[in-house]
Structure 1
Amino acid sequence: MAEINIEPKKRSSGWSWIIVLLILAVVGWLLYRYLLEPQTNSPETTDVPATGWVMPVSPNYYTT
Structure 2
Amino acid sequence: MNIGKISKNEKTIKFEAEIHCVQCGKKVPGGLKTSEKYYHTKEFKIELDNFLKKYLCGICRDKKRRD
The reply to whether TM is greater than 0.5 is: no
Q: Name the structure with the higher strand share.
A: 2
Point out which structure has higher relative CO (alpha carbons under 8 A, 6+ apart): 2
Rg (Cα) greater in structure: 1
